[in-house]
């Protein structure tokens, strides 16, 4: 994907993964270097993707057993409130009704939870880093066995902890790992950003660069298809979708290694955002910038209203500054909107209970200095 910054390259890939419920990982190409130099090995891409897939699979399974999980959590809390369920002298249903109505949230109870202090540190590190990156001397005699401990806390505080413990009991880890591995191999999406930063222009003087051609060569087998060992098992990358993106201001896609170009056969060029695109970004998304600012002021009891002319002017100014200074795409909208509400944000506590309108004249007066700087910058040598 070729296009200027802020045009939505990453967002396209992220939305695609969300719609397909596919494991998605975004990485920066610049943090990888070839073996022997300081930096990360490209194999960690697949290991990180497996971690994402494990969390996604566990989340999907928890949604399927949501009712069963909720019942198990209630039973655990009721055990702590009124004793084990086998005691016939105690009626649990009144307590269950109060618990479901939220009237027991501040009650202190003693519950038995997994002991997180004794977890093996190797669990989080093994498989994440290559041997050439990190070496740990681990003494098994110092490893503490993972047990359980009794803790006293409010019902509202322990609910999430009990839910996590019950989900570990109800969801077999072997099933999660198997489904996560299949999801990565069949549906995984890897988005490699800033691919142009590890590409040298053909006009540049060639020299040994630890973060340029070496990384491209390391990516070749990964994209073509290879087997990567992780702590969850071997992952085959034959069917993983690799999407690379870059602005390519100082070089061309043809400056990449020919072998890498051949493994990325589909090329899409994204055009810069126009004034109409800016206006759509400000109005069409459910949680757009305008609605965010209105909700933010609402927390201070200030009713903020943007007129249609003001929104149109924000889009026009953003597009004009992008065309004259530096094209940073939709990120320019953040700059313009923040400049508009900067003074109001500081004075909001003093204006509680009032209504504030922002119209076209406010946009022109508060953002005009951006355009002045843009005009002058063309004449600076």
- Domain with residue 298: its CATH number is 1.10.8.60
Q: Are residues 90 and 238 in the same domain?
A: no
Sign of the four-CA dihedral 11, 16, 19, 24: negative
SS3 94: helix
Instruction: State which of 178-182, 248-252, 348-352 shows the largest mean pLDDT.
Output: 178-182
Judge whether 4 lies within some domain: no
Range of the domain at 109: 66-170
Judge whether 61 lies within some domain: no
Residue 193 scores a pLDDT above 70: yes
pLDDT tens by residue, 45-82: 999 999 999 999 999 998 898 888 888 888 888 888 87
Q: What is the pLDDT of residue 86?
A: 58
Domain end among 170, 194, 226: 170
Judge whether 291 lies within some domain: yes
Q: Are residues 220 and 200 in the same domain?
A: yes
* Percent residues over pLDDT 70 in the chain: 82
SS3 38: coil
Of the candidates 178, 190, 180, the residue with the CA atom closest to the CA atom of residue 237: 190
Residue 104 scores a pLDDT above 90: no
Sign of the four-CA dihedral 116, 122, 123, 129: positive
Q: Are residues 42 and 189 in the same domain?
A: yes
Judge whether 79 lies within some domain: yes
pLDDT tens by residue, 296-312: 999 999 999 999 999 99
Q: What is the pLDDT of residue 15?
A: 92
Tokens describing residue 46: 């697949």
Angstrom distance (rounded) from CA 314 to CA 330: 12
Q: What is the pLDDT of residue 265?
A: 92
Q: Are residues 216 and 288 in the same domain?
A: no
Question: Which residues are bridge partners to 110 per DSSP?
Answer: 152
Strand 24-28, strand 148-154: pairing: unpaired
Angstrom distance (rounded) from CA 290 to CA 306: 8
Q: Are residues 192 and 224 in the same domain?
A: yes
Q: Are residues 295 and 255 in the same domain?
A: no
Average pLDDT on 326-353 reads: 90
Give 250-294 as a DSSP string.
Answer: SS-GGGS-HHHHHH-----BPPPP-HHHHHHHHHSSTT-HHHHHH
Q: Are residues 212 and 130 in the same domain?
A: no
Q: What is the pLDDT of residue 138?
A: 42
Angstrom distance (rounded) from CA 44 to CA 206: 28
Read off the pLDDT band of 137 (50, 70, 90). very low
Q: Are residues 212 and 185 in the same domain?
A: yes
Judge whether 82 lies within some domain: yes
* Percent residues over pLDDT 90 in the chain: 44
Q: Are residues 77 and 136 in the same domain?
A: yes
Average pLDDT on 19-42 reads: 79
Residue 280 scores a pLDDT above 70: yes
Average pLDDT on 270-286 reads: 93
Q: What is the pLDDT of residue 378?
A: 57
Residue 204 scores a pLDDT above 70: no
Sign of the four-CA dihedral 11, 12, 18, 24: negative
Buried b (16+ CB within 10 A) or exposed e, 238-258: eebbbbbbbbbeebebebbee
Phi, psi of 2 (to 5 degrees): -115, 130
Domain end among 150, 170, 190: 170
**What's the number of domains the chain is made of?**
3
Residue with tokens 């920066």: 28
Residue 139 scores a pLDDT above 50: no
Average pLDDT on 349-365 reads: 91
Tokens describing residue 66: 């949501």
Angstrom distance (rounded) from CA 125 to CA 310: 52
Angstrom distance (rounded) from CA 198 to CA 256: 9
Domain end among 137, 170, 203: 170
Residue 194 scores a pLDDT above 70: yes
Q: Are residues 189 and 239 in the same domain?
A: yes
SS3 233: strand
Of the candidates 347, 33, 357, the residue with the CA atom closest to the CA atom of residue 198: 33
Average per-residue pLDDT in the chain?
A: 83
Sign of the four-CA dihedral 153, 158, 161, 163: positive
């Amino acid at each position: 994907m070729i296009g200027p910054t802020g045009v939505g390259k990453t967002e396209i890939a992220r939305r695609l993964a969300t719609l397909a419920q596919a494991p998605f990982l975004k990485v920066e190409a610049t943090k990888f270097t070839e073996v022997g130099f300081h930096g990360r090995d490209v194999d960690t891409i697949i290991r990180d993707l497996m971690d994402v897939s494990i969390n996604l699979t566990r989340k999907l399974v928890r949604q399927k057993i949501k009712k069963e999980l909720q019942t198990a959590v209630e039973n655990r809390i009721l055990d702590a409130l009124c004793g084990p369920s086998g005691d016939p002298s105690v009626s649990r249903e009144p307590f269950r009704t109060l618990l479901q109505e939220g009237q027991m949230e501040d009650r202190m109870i003693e519950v038995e939870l997994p002991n997180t202090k004794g977890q093996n540190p190797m669990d989080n590190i093994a498989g994440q880093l290559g041997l050439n990156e990190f070496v740990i001397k681990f003494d098994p005699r110092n490893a503490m066995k993972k047990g359980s401990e009794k803790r006293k806390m409010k019902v509202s505080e322990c609910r999430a902890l009990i839910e996590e413990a019950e989900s570990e009991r109800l969801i077999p880890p072997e099933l999660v790992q198997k489904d996560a591995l299949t999801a990565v191999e069949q549906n995984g999406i890897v988005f490699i950003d800033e691919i142009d930063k590890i590409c040298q222009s053909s006009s540049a003087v060639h020299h040994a660069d630890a973060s340029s051609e070496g990384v491209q060569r390391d990516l070749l087998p990964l994209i073509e298809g290879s087997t990567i060992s992780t702590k969850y098992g071997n992952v085959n990358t034959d069917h993983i979708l690799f999407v690379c993106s870059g602005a390519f201001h100082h070089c061309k896609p043809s400056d990449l290694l020919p072998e890498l170009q051949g493994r990325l056969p589909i090329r899409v060029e994204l055009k810069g955002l126009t004034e109409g695109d800016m206006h759509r970004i400000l109005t069409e998304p459910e949680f757009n910038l305008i609605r965010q600012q209105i909700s933010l002021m609402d927390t201070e009891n200030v009713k903020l209203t943007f007129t249609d002319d003001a929104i149109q002017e924000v889009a026009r100014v953003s597009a004009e500054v992008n065309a004259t200074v530096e094209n940073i795409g939709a990120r320019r909208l953040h700059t313009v909107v923040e400049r508009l509400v900067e003074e109001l944000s500081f004075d909001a506590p003093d204006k509680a209970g009032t209504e504030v309108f922002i119209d076209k004249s406010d946009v022109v007066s508060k953002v005009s200095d951006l355009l002045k700087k843009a005009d002058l910058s063309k004449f600076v040598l």
